[in-house]
Each structure stands twice: as C-alpha cells, then as structure tokens.
Amino acid sequence: MTQQQPPWPSPISSSSSNPRGKCWLILVLMAVLPLVADVGALPFLFTHIKPQINWTQPEMESWVIEEQPRSIEPHLEPVLHPNRTHRALSSDSTDAEFLQRLVSIRHNQTASSRMLWYDVAGGDGLVYPPFVDKALKLLNLKQVAFEIENSVMSKVTCTACRAGAGMLQHQIQSGKTDAELIRMITDYCTNLNIQSARVCQGVAQLFGSELIYVLKRVNLSPDELCSFVIGDGCADVYNPYHEWEVIFPPVPKPPRLPDLPIPMEAAPFFKVLHISDTHYDPHYAEGSNADCNEPLCCRLSSGRPATPNAAAGKWGDYRKCDTPKRTVDHMLSHIAETHKDIDYILWTGDLPPHDVWNQTKEENLAIIKDTVKQMVEMFPGVPIFPALGNHESAPVNSFPPPYVNQVDISISWLYDELDIQWRRWLPQSVTHTVRRGAFYSVLVRPGFRIISLNMNYCNNKNWWLLLNSTDPATELQWFIYELQSAEFSNEKVHVIGHIPPGHSDCLKVWSRNFYKIISRYESTVTAQFYGHTHYDEFEMFYDPHDLNHPNGIAYIGPSVSPYYDLNPGYRIYYVDGDHDATTRLVIDHESWIMNLKEANLYGYPIWYKLYTARAAYNMKALRPSDWNNLLNELTNNQELFELYYKYYWKNSPARPTCDAECKKRLICDCRSGRSHDRKHFCAEVESKIDEESSKSWKSWFYKGLTNSAEDRTEEPAPTTDGYGPFDVVIVNVGG
C-alpha cells in the first residue's frame, strides 16, 4: 500500500554558491610514476599560479522526494516460535491497537499538527608542489600498494597519487587519445611488474576509460584530487566544488534523555541474522595456487602451487582467496538448521569475488541472481533486507549518479535488476528509490522501520563523485525526509548499508553530513548495521558539540569471505521486539565463525559461537553509553583489548601482533563514526595509549634496575663458566 505525502522541498546548500580489492587504484596511480623523472617535460609541476576556473555544476534532473510512494503497512508478520519463552503479541492485540498504545506512551512528544519545512535561504594550468626531494619515495610501490589495499594512507601514497594524477592530466591535456592513454597505463604497469600482464591489461581497460572520462570533465589540481580520494592521509585541501550541506526541516529536536532505558528482560524480541561480504567465487579450485601474487588466487588460472603448502584448501584459504561454493552452502545449511527461529535477515552486500580486473556486468548479475535464489531456497518465507555493496558493480566502485544517464555508462543495468531480485522480499513501494539509487525504506512492524542506504555514494573510490559529490541521487535529503516522517509517527529506525560512514573509504563531506543527521535524529535511529571491512567491530557516534554524549552505535558485521587472513563468520542480533515499552535497541549479539585451518585439516567445517557481546565484555546493555564505556575500558585495560583484538580478527590463527600504534588505530576506528577526522576524535585516546606504553617501558626498565640492585646486595654466586654474574665479557663476532 502506498500513500502520497504533502510537498516537502529538498534543497541542497553549497558553500561555493571506502579494504581490500582495490588493486585498480594502485595500478592507475602508479603506472605513470616513472614519467616524473622527466622534469623538463613537466613544466606544470612548478607552476605556482592557478588561473581562474569557470566551473559549471552538471545539470541535475528533477526528482521530488515527497511524491514517491512510502511503505506504511507493516511488512513483517510475527511468528510464534515454540522455543521462545514469550509470545510476540497477545492474542487480542492487533497491529493497530499496538501502534495506538505506542503513540499514547511515546517519550518524544511532538505537536499533533505541523507544517513541513520550506527553506527560503537559499583554465588549463595546474598547481603542483615541488617534490623532487620525494622522488625516492615514489619508488616505494609496495608501501603504496599495502596502504591502498588496507585503507591506511600515509604521505607515501599521497605523493604517489599526486604524481600519477598530475601526469595523467598532463597527458590528457597534451591531446593523447583514450586508446593511447590506456596503452600507456598498461605498458608501465607491466614493465614495473606492479601486476601480471593480464591484470595490468584488464585493469587498464576496465577503469581507464571511466577515469579518463571523469578527468577530462573536472578542473581540479592533483592536490585537490588526491585529498578528495585519499582524505586526511593527503592533507585537508579545501575544495569549494565539494563542500555542501543538507537542509534540515525547522522542527525542534526532541529533548535529549540523560540515557536510554535498558531493554526489559524476558520481553519479546526479534532474532536477526546478519550476513555480509560473501564474495562467492564460482571459480575457486581446491589445490590451485593460493600464493599467486595477484589480487585474487585459488583459481585454476592462478597456476600450480610451488609447494604443497601453497595449495588452496578445500574450504577456503587464509591468503588472497574468496569463498568457495561448498563453504557458502555449508554455512547457509548450518544457519538454517541451527537458527530455525530467525525473524528476518540483514544482507549488507559484496557478493562477487575480488577478481576486479576481469569482471563483466553479465558475470556480476549472474552471481547476484544465483545468490538471491539460494537465499530464497534456504530461508523460505523469511524477510530479507539487502543493501548494495561496492563490488556489485562492474567495474568495482563505479556507481554513476542518476544525472549520468548515457546508455553506455548509466548504472541502470544494475539497479533495475536489483529491483527485480529484491522484490522477492520488499514491498512494491520501494521500486522508485531502488531504481533511482538502490536505497529504500520499509515499515517492518508498527513503530519500527528499516532504511537501507546505498553507501557507494559516499565511496571516495567512486570516480564519478569527482564530477559532483553534492548529495548524489539526493539520497541524504531523502534520508532526512524518511527520518522526519518516522519521528512524526513515533517510529524507531534501523539503518543498514555496506561501507561504514566512519571508514576511510567514505567521502569526508558525505560522512560529515550523515553524522549531523544521526545527531539530529538520535531519538529515532536506534542502531546501524554495515559490513565492508571484513572484521568484527563497531563504530561510535557522538553529539558533534559534546563528545561526552554518545548518541549512536553502528555494528560492523564480520565477512563470510576469509579474504584475507580471516575465518569466515556471521552475526546474530537480538532486537527489542513488540511490546509497549520497546526500545528497538539491540539487546545482545553473537558472532559465529568457522575455524578454516581446522576445517581444511580435518576435512569438515564446524561452525560455533565465538562470543556473545554482553557476556564477553561484561556489559549490562548495548546502548551507545555502554559501548562508550567499553571503549574507555579498551583504552585502559590491555587484557580486555587483547580479547577484543582476538574477536576483531575472528580468532584467526593468521592474525598479526598488535603494538601501540595498532591499538591506537583500532580504538580510534571504533570512536570515529565520522570519516577523516581522527584528530578531532582520537587525540585523547592516542595520548592515553602513548602514556600507558611509556609507563610500561619505564616500569620494565626501572624494575630491571631494581632487581639488579637487589641482587648486588647478596653474595654473588659462582658460575660454571668461571665468570661472576656482573663481569663483562667481550665476544668477538667479527671475521
């Protein structure tokens, strides 16, 4: 059932008027680096005056948010599960009566009649810094590759980005054809041994045309380009073309509670399955080469393993390999058998594998269709709420906004098919927004809504955003419209997506606007769910004006794919259900994994519950304030942090050790729900960790001196080698 809404204008104000699988970016940026040696051929590198740029915003199509149908009928019918101790709803309680009770006891009072808001406010040269003294750094390609692949950027990657972007722009302006530019990228990639010849050729063909198309149409310096793509790892260069703000309605924010109530014990709940980052590889081959020096291995095309240890395992591999079909099948069968009382499923994207150099639209669509069919067969009658990952497109990360509507580069080939596939679980009212931007809103139960966002419009590896990053597809303004409607209706909202908004892959300006939205509607949004990182973690949100007030929590679910050094995993959430005092908060969650090493060793996988959040971390509830308390404990309690680190890696035997810098990064990731703003959120945390690290060193040093002094007060015992315990022995180890 759909309903037309009153007119809500949705203007955008402009101040000027995403781990893994990113080899394409490495190749494009680094393939042109050797050209920087020819300084004489690059006069633009030493130009210090940037001419005036006449910039025209791309023509935007008209899309009226309030004219789109909305989901206003509950989509989920409660099921009585015999293994639960409570009933979902009393037999004499209808949805309408339940909703009426919620309205009558709601905490966030708003006026019964409101008017919705009406806002009445309404060259050729390139500047490039000298970097001759940094030339050697440009040759550190392994460092650059590692940083880009793990989304941990430094000045090394920034310098490489500036050099690559500057050279590519110079070649474009010199009149090189697209074919010549693509051939140049391929040749340098191959000659520098950045990747194999087939990977170089595939990446250049897939990404070269798109990148060249965008760079021909933007007037941004290399500094501006790289600050946009890399973020705070490449300085915070002000760029007026990519500064914008969403508009909020003139509706007062409901009074802030001192803290949220703890969900009632033994009250009705929903059991929710969260699956993310399956990365199913239909070409996985047991016994193939798992150490192939390409972005994805464990295929027949990866070659034969050099040693028995280099052979791909039966159930997957810790190296750069994705999920074999038998592992996906076994996991879904295990879930269907073990968790028979699942109420609904959150499915947060990334279905295709990491072979980003040779993917096609047809192959990615086939994987989407196959996995949707499998989910329907394994969980008949269970509602599934999907979100779009960054790997679903071909090429990866390519999600043109709606105004890019040319047939050959439009994203409609993907969104139209998603609408067809997702309609198996979603109401017809979502068609308009799914086909426009792959986002939607569904009323799940009376007073409870799920909003799925397309986080690829915050993906800074999405080159199309360089043309115009201003609220792509009008998604965030639509998001505000949905949240304001939910607030008026006293609905609580869960948000799902793929890329976490605080992750370094999320565009800074988009993340900043999203953060403001969550703060404004903190009484409405009670939980967020994402994937993308492949790790088991979380992100915090705070009042932008009061960092002592946590107002939101984002759960980042583990990946099914072991890519890489990980065990496969999934999550189970228990969400406050249908009752008069419901909070719609997550009551608790469990992480389940399969030990990949043992599965390959013994030939059979065993899925088991790794931990339960409240029990593992001794939390009385999972409110934002409780997660904030845990974050403080992780900073101060090393033993607790090591437990978190174990779960973060899904208990993988391949996990590396974590030093003080690693600890700072992980805790800061948890604290930063706003991307590329670590200085704002993490200074205090990093200072504490540095202080504790210093204390540990000093304690060890002074303890050693004290013990030595105490030993000296006693009579030295004779030694078997003839030396006293404090004699100095000089040993000649030279030749």
Among 502, 412, 493, 494, smallest CA distance to 455 is for: 502
| DSSP reduced 3-state for 169 | helix
267-284 burial: b if 16+ Cβ within 10 Å, else e = bbbbbbbbbbbbbbbebb
pLDDT confidence band for 111 (50 / 70 / 90):
very low
In the predicted structure, residue 42 carries a pLDDT above the cut 60: no
In the predicted structure, residue 266 carries a pLDDT above the cut 80: yes
Domain 128-230 sits in CATH 1.25.40:
no
Rounded to the nearest angstrom, the gap between the alpha carbon of residue 226 and the centroid of all alpha carbons in its chain is 20
Percent of the chain clearing pLDDT 90 (strictly above): 61
Least confident of 75-84, 125-134, 427-436, 601-610: 125-134
- Residue 688 has a pLDDT of 86
pLDDT confidence band for 44 (50 / 70 / 90):
very low
Mean pLDDT value across residues 16-32: 48
Model-level pTM?
Answer: 0.82
- The model's pLDDT over 460-483, given as tens digits with 9 standing for 90+, comes to 999 999 999 999 999 999 999 999
Residue with tokens 């809404």: 5
| Tokens (6 digits) for 561 | 């794919």
The DSSP output letter for 62 is: P
Helix (H), strand (E) at residue 727 = none
Q: Is 279 annotated as a binding residue?
A: yes
Q: Which CATH superfamily is domain 269-284+322-686 in?
A: Metallo-dependent phosphatases (3.60.21.10)
Mean pLDDT value across residues 29-47: 41
In the predicted structure, residue 457 carries a pLDDT above the cut 60: yes
- Residue 154 has a pLDDT of 55
In the predicted structure, residue 94 carries a pLDDT above the cut 50: yes
pLDDT confidence band for 104 (50 / 70 / 90):
low
Span(s) in the chain for CATH 1.10.225:
128-230
In the predicted structure, residue 34 carries a pLDDT above the cut 80: no
Distance CA 86, CA 74 (A): 21
Distance CA 23, CA 633 (A): 37
Q: Is 416 annotated as a binding residue?
A: no
| 349 and 389 Cβ atoms separated by less than 8 Å | yes
Distance CA 616, CA 723 (A): 51
C-alpha distances in Å from residue 272, one per residue of 269, 335, 342, 573, 601: 9, 12, 6, 5, 32
- Residue 247 has a pLDDT of 97
Provide the CB-side half-sphere exposure for 394 (13 A, CA). 22
pLDDT confidence band for 258 (50 / 70 / 90):
confident
pLDDT confidence band for 75 (50 / 70 / 90):
confident
Mean pLDDT value across residues 507-517: 96
305 Cβ neighbours under 8 A, 6+ residues apart: 287, 288, 289, 290, 291, 311, 312
| DSSP reduced 3-state for 717 | coil
Residue 38: other Cβ atoms inside 10 A: 9
Mean pLDDT value across residues 35-50: 38
Q: Is 419 annotated as a binding residue?
A: no
| 435 and 455 Cβ atoms separated by less than 8 Å | no
- The model's pLDDT over 338-349, given as tens digits with 9 standing for 90+, comes to 999 999 999 999
- The model's pLDDT over 695-729, given as tens digits with 9 standing for 90+, comes to 654 444 444 554 554 454 444 444 444 444 334 33
| Tokens (6 digits) for 583 | 């909070």
- Residue 105 has a pLDDT of 57
- The model's pLDDT over 600-615, given as tens digits with 9 standing for 90+, comes to 999 999 999 999 999 9
77 Cβ neighbours under 8 A, 6+ residues apart: none
| Tokens (6 digits) for 480 | 């505000």
pLDDT confidence band for 140 (50 / 70 / 90):
low
The DSSP output letter for 323 is: B
Span(s) in the chain for CATH 3.60.21.10:
269-284+322-686
Residue with tokens 């198996």: 424
C-alpha distances in Å from residue 427, one per residue of 424, 439, 684: 8, 13, 46
Q: Is 277 annotated as a binding residue?
A: yes
Q: Which of 28-37, 386-395, 706-715 has the highest mean pLDDT?
A: 386-395
pLDDT confidence band for 390 (50 / 70 / 90):
very high
Percent of the chain clearing pLDDT 70 (strictly above): 77
Distance CA 352, CA 323 (A): 10
Mean pLDDT value across residues 361-382: 97
- Residue 61 has a pLDDT of 63
In the predicted structure, residue 65 carries a pLDDT above the cut 70: yes
- Residue 698 has a pLDDT of 47
Residue 176: burial class (beta carbons within 10 Å; 0-12, 13-18, 19+) = middle
* CA dihedral of 293, 296, 300, 301, whole degrees rounded to 10: -70
Distance CA 219, CA 228 (A): 13
- Residue 167 has a pLDDT of 86
- Of 391 and 693, the one with more pLDDT: 391
Distance CA 278, CA 323 (A): 7
Provide the CB-side half-sphere exposure for 399 (13 A, CA). 26
Q: Is 390 annotated as a binding residue?
A: yes
- Of 50 and 456, the one with more pLDDT: 456
In the predicted structure, residue 546 carries a pLDDT above the cut 50: yes
- Residue 81 has a pLDDT of 79
Distance CA 555, CA 540 (A): 9
Q: Is 343 annotated as a binding residue?
A: no
pLDDT mean across residues, the chain: 83
